[in-house]
Amino acid sequence: MIRSLLLLILLAFIAESPEKNASPQWIKLFNGKDLSNWKIKIKDHPLGDNFANTFRVTDGNLTVGYEEYTDFNEQFGHIFYAKKYSSYLLTMEYRFIGDQAKGGPAWAYRNSGAMIHSPAPETMGLNQDFPISIEVQLLGGNGNEDRPTANLCTPGTNVMLNGKLFTDHCINSSSKTYHGDQWVRVDVLVLGDSIIRHIVEGDTVLVYSKPQIGGGAVSNYDPKEKVDGKPLKGGYISLQSESHPVQFRKVELFDLEPYVRDSQKLKSMIRKLSKRSVR
């Protein structure tokens, strides 16, 4: 069903595009073999230091693990893809595995995320915990409670939600809970500083707009990077290490930028997409 949704999206954009000869294609951000084209930044460690082998490839999966940690000690980490994007469709397939690292905060149990519209990893301070970005929060079930995934968190940012400026740190999506070690597919439709849509296993579970810098929930950042009110038109994509082991077997992207040329057509397409039923 999700492939049908993606096909509808792409056909609609292609039909509207003035670039008739464009040749769109999926880009494998994670190649299934190594961490080529990714940059690592872990709190309290310099850029490029893959402390305790946090990020690695195992059995074809991008794995985030903590076997070599003695204590997590708030060493939150992010692995950034080397190229920035503005308008795109991001596809991820992930699962949580194993036990949480010793010293990991309770809220980080089966908790990870994909950060979008981030500044370059080179701008992060040595002791900065999270990039100023929009977080597509990925959660796994604990076997008992409802824990939806593809939620929204906003480290150093705000968005417009239901016509109002959303300044809280996180809000849950309408997704179901995925318990155990099952693989979950999340797609994120991002259209610059206009609209962002979270999709879980074919269902649209959260829609918001106008991502911008503002708010808190991020520390030790460079003040030059936090210009409150500045629209977030694009940026880097990163995956988190937050103390619970997680694997990604797919991280792919379809670049929609070649089709974003006419603002009125883009706005019209956003309205059409927001009204389109996924199921």
pLDDT tens-digit series, residues 166-205: 999 999 999 999 999 999 999 999 999 999 999 999 899 9
Beta bridge partner(s), residue 213: 157
Q: How many domains does the chain have?
A: 1
Whether 88 is covered by a domain: the verdict is yes
* Rounded-to-integer distance, Cα 43 and Cα 262, Å: 41
Per-residue pLDDT, 188: 95
Could you give the C-alpha distances from 245 to 33, 110, 170, 223, in angstroms and in order? 19, 8, 21, 32
Predicted confidence (pLDDT) at residue 276 exceeds the cutoff of 80: no
Predicted confidence (pLDDT) at residue 16 exceeds the cutoff of 50: no
Q: Are strands 87-96 and 184-191 parallel, antiparallel or unpaired?
A: antiparallel
- Give the predicted TM-score (pTM) of the model: 0.86
Whether 213 is covered by a domain: the verdict is yes
Q: 216 vs 19, which has greater pLDDT?
A: 216
Whether 135 is covered by a domain: the verdict is yes
* Rounded-to-integer distance, Cα 239 and Cα 93, Å: 12
For residue 220 the two structure tokens come to: 């030790």
Per-residue pLDDT, 255: 85
CATH number of the domain at 37, please: 2.60.120.560
Whether 223 is covered by a domain: the verdict is yes
Whether 171 is covered by a domain: the verdict is yes
Predicted confidence (pLDDT) at residue 12 exceeds the cutoff of 70: no
Predicted confidence (pLDDT) at residue 158 exceeds the cutoff of 90: yes
Predicted confidence (pLDDT) at residue 278 exceeds the cutoff of 80: no
Which tens digits make up the pLDDT trace of 199-258?
A: 999 899 999 999 999 988 999 999 999 999 999 999 999 999 999 999 999 999 988 887
Range of the domain at 192: 31-249
* Rounded-to-integer distance, Cα 174 and Cα 153, Å: 14
User: How many Cα neighbours within 13 Å face the side chain of 87?
Assistant: 19
Tokens 């999926």 -> residue: 26
Per-residue pLDDT, 267: 56
Per-residue pLDDT, 258: 79
Whether 254 is covered by a domain: the verdict is no
Q: How far is CA 184 from the centre of its chain?
A: 14
User: In degrees rounded to 5, what are phi and psi of residue 177?
Assistant: -95, 140
Predicted confidence (pLDDT) at residue 5 exceeds the cutoff of 70: no
Could you give the C-alpha distances from 174 to 146, 185, 187, 222, in angstroms and in order? 11, 15, 14, 34
Predicted confidence (pLDDT) at residue 72 exceeds the cutoff of 60: yes
* Rounded-to-integer distance, Cα 149 and Cα 68, Å: 28
Whether 99 is covered by a domain: the verdict is yes
Mean pLDDT, the chain, whole residue set: 88
Whether 26 is covered by a domain: the verdict is no
Between 2-16 and 263-275, two packed helices, what is the crossing angle to 10 degrees?
A: 160
Per-residue pLDDT, 84: 96
